[in-house]
Amino acid sequence: MKLLKKHVSCALLTLPLLQSSLGGISASAATIPATVTPASEPSWGYFVDSYKNNSSVNMTENSNPTIGLLSEYNKLWKPGTTWDTGTKLNSSVLDANIQKVLDITANRTASEADAAYIDDRRNQSYSVMDGLGSLTDVYRMNAGATTTINNVPADATTKKYDDQGNNAGSTTSSLGNIVSLVNTLRGNYSSTSPAKNYFSYPRPFRWSSTSIIVPALVPAINPDPSKDGGFPSGHTNAAYLSAMAMAYAVPERYQELLTRASELGNNRIVAGMHSPLDVMGGRVMATALAAAILSDPANQNLKKAAYDDAHSKLLTQTGTATDRFSDYSKNKTDYTQRLTYGFKQLNSTTNPMVVPKGAEVLLETRLPYLDSTQRRWVLATTGLPSGYPVLDDPEGWGRLNLFAAADGYGAFATDVTVTMDSSKGGFNALDHWRNDISGTGKLTKKGTGTLILQGNNTYAGGTQIDQGTLEGDSETAFGKGDVTNNGGTVSENVSGRVTIDGNYTQSDNGTLELSLSDKNDQLEVNGGVITKGKLLLNFENQYVPDKNVKIISFNKHHRQGEFSSIETKGLPSQYKVKVIYNSDSIQLKVIKK
């Protein structure tokens, strides 16, 4: 391993494997599988069944499921007999991996360096709590969580500081069940040490120099390189395990907690302590471990108790902490970019997505109205494309995109029936699917809850509403097929046009709810309409039409029936409405009483 004493060549700056220093995922989506049955059992066993074999006494790929899970790294790197005798099997990827660190550390700001220091020296579970947003301080107080690392000490460049806090908090606190769940996920079987020792891949500063490290972290360098492996990142693994435990208990902050974990992992690169591949490996390992531990029957009572405590003792409180993760679009961009760090795909890009055995538990509280098979389909239709370095393990852990999965289906490969119960509260009562949903399947909405579709959808099987509310928040929210309202409410909340690509049929028990804020607000039906039941008109922004306005259009001479009742909201009391039925449209006339 002769590069250890030399800087990486500047020529690496133009390697095509890195799309940019902030590169993202190049392929649009994973290939949808025909089934969500788990792949064949790997030689080390299904991870959820064998996770307790992750220990220092099991140091081979076949005996340790964590080493097996990460064994795609063996295609890039062959460990040596000592820490400095390994061999690069794919120099272009591994050189680009270190160059990425050089680029990021060369451009970090003072505030980024400070954040990287804190995420290095502070206990990971305490740091991840930031993902709770305004409730962060409430959690820390009620869980009794403490830290001694709140800033960068003046003498940090010459003195190593260790956090003397208690990580996630006290198990005897009022939020002790959440603390216990975090501790359990980070327990005896979750160490990265066996994998680090097996792969013996040096940290970035050993390929370059210690000058890339945040100066305040130089005292934290392990003086023994043989006990300081880079792959996978232990801090990243710990952060994701903590985040997934908290996200199970507080799914209302699912994406925010995951984003905080991804930020902490990224700060390992900013610090100069880890490479992108190290961080990716830490995330993959934590994902599998979290699913295994949450699936373990021994932890069923604990995870329920943690969820119950979060919803009776934490979410009932009002917090005042700053929410650094309130910007959904930024969270999504940051999290998605950190899944692959701009590496191009090395292998086949069209292998169908596979869903690991037991992975559905990771969505158990986030999508509680779906059954386990449906959650597996969500994971299958939101996963990463194949071909990225490190991520193509045989079970599929590396390709899971939990941020996207929290936004519902990415495609309807089969017909999907969603039954929500508003009496259960939370996501059973109201949820948003933000993904752009494709596929050939049909969506049927049952139950009393409200499901809001926010993506630019192209699913072709049609839409049926039997109960509750299905709301469209984009022009193409209802996909490509017919929309049939048998007894619920079809609603829209779009400025401008909403399109139904086929026919719209509404029964006597159905309700069509339209939002009106100007003359351009219109439901455009590309087929015919059957208009029965109720029409509910929501007038917004003090809008009162001064002349007849078209609110629904359809194919000429393709209308049957009339709405049996008209109801308005937001219209000043001195006005009333009259509905005018034309051969190709339905118009609205507002008149004074």
Helix (H) or strand (E) holding 147: none
369 CB contacts (<8 Å, ≥6 apart)? Answer: 418, 419, 420, 421, 427, 428, 431, 447, 449
Q: What is the domain partition of the chain in residue ranges?
A: 2-15+39-343, 409-592
Quote the pLDDT of residue 28.
Answer: 54
pLDDT tens, position by position, 108-146: 999 999 999 999 999 999 999 999 999 999 999 999 999
Quote the pLDDT of residue 553.
Answer: 98
Q: Count Cα atoms within 13 angstroms, Cβ side, for 502.
A: 16
Inter-residue long-range contacts of 157-161, CB under 8 Å, 24+ positions, other chains counted: 157/215, 157/216, 157/218, 157/219, 158/219, 159/219, 160/219, 160/220, 161/121
Quote the pLDDT of residue 9.
Answer: 32
- Rounded CA-CA distance 299/278 in Å is 29
Quote the pLDDT of residue 13.
Answer: 28
Task: Check pLDDT > 50 for residue 438.
Answer: yes
DSSP secondary structure string for all residues of 376-396: HHHHHHHPPPS--TTT--TTS
pLDDT tens, position by position, 35-88: 999 999 999 999 999 999 999 999 999 999 999 999 999 999 999 999 999 999
pTM over 0.85: yes
pLDDT tens, position by position, 335-346: 999 999 999 999
pLDDT tens, position by position, 9-35: 333 322 223 333 333 443 457 999 999
- Rounded CA-CA distance 96/15 in Å is 7
% of the chain exceeding 90 in pLDDT: 95
Q: Count Cα atoms within 13 angstroms, Cβ side, for 291.
A: 27
CB 286 within 8 A of CB 244: yes
2 CB contacts (<8 Å, ≥6 apart)? Answer: none
Taking residues 94-113, report their average pLDDT. Answer: 98
Backbone angles phi, psi at 357, to 5 degrees: -55, 130
Nearest CA to 96 among 389, 380, 374, 377? 389
Mean of all residue pLDDT scores within the chain: 94
Structure tokens belonging to residue 398: 């590396």
- What is the per-residue burial (b if ≥16 Cβ within 10 Å, else e) of 187-225? eebbbbebbbbbbbbbbbbbbbeeebbbebbbebbeeeb
At residue 308, what is the residue type? D
Residue with tokens 């139904």: 500
CB 432 within 8 A of CB 406: no
- The domain defined by 2-15+39-343 folds into Vanadium-containing Chloroperoxidase; domain 1 (1.20.144)
Task: Check pLDDT > 80 for residue 8.
Answer: no
- Rounded CA-CA distance 548/210 in Å is 73
Task: Output Rg (C-alpha) for the chain, integer angstroms.
Answer: 27
Task: Check pLDDT > 90 for residue 5.
Answer: no
Quote the pLDDT of residue 593.
Answer: 86
Taking residues 485-508, report their average pLDDT. Answer: 97
Quote the pLDDT of residue 540.
Answer: 95
DSSP secondary structure string for all residues of 288-309: HHHHHHHH-GGGHHHHHHHHHH
User: What is the separation, in whole angstroms, between the first and last Cα of the chain?
Assistant: 87
Region of residue 268 (phi > 0: left; psi between -120 and 50: alpha; otherwise: beta): alpha
Burial bucket for residue 154 (CB in 10 Å: 0-12, 13-18, 19+): exposed
Quote the pLDDT of residue 167.
Answer: 97
Taking residues 349-373, report their average pLDDT. Answer: 98
- Rounded CA-CA distance 165/74 in Å is 37
Quote the pLDDT of residue 400.
Answer: 98
CB 506 within 8 A of CB 512: yes
- Rounded CA-CA distance 464/450 in Å is 14
Confidence of residue 524 (pLDDT cuts 50, 70, 90): very high
Degrees to nearest 5, angle at CA 372 with 180 and 287: 45
Quote the pLDDT of residue 136.
Answer: 98
- Chain center to CA of 292: 18
Cis peptide bond prior to 232, omega within 30° of 0: yes
Quote the pLDDT of residue 15.
Answer: 28
Mapped onto helix, strand or coil, the DSSP state of residue 430 is: strand
- Rounded CA-CA distance 116/110 in Å is 10
Q: Strands 575-581 and 585-592, how do they pair?
A: antiparallel
Quote the pLDDT of residue 29.
Answer: 77
Structure tokens belonging to residue 139: 């959690």
Quote the pLDDT of residue 25.
Answer: 45
What are the Cα distances from residue 96, in Å, to 17, 237, 275, 342?
Answer: 7, 22, 10, 10
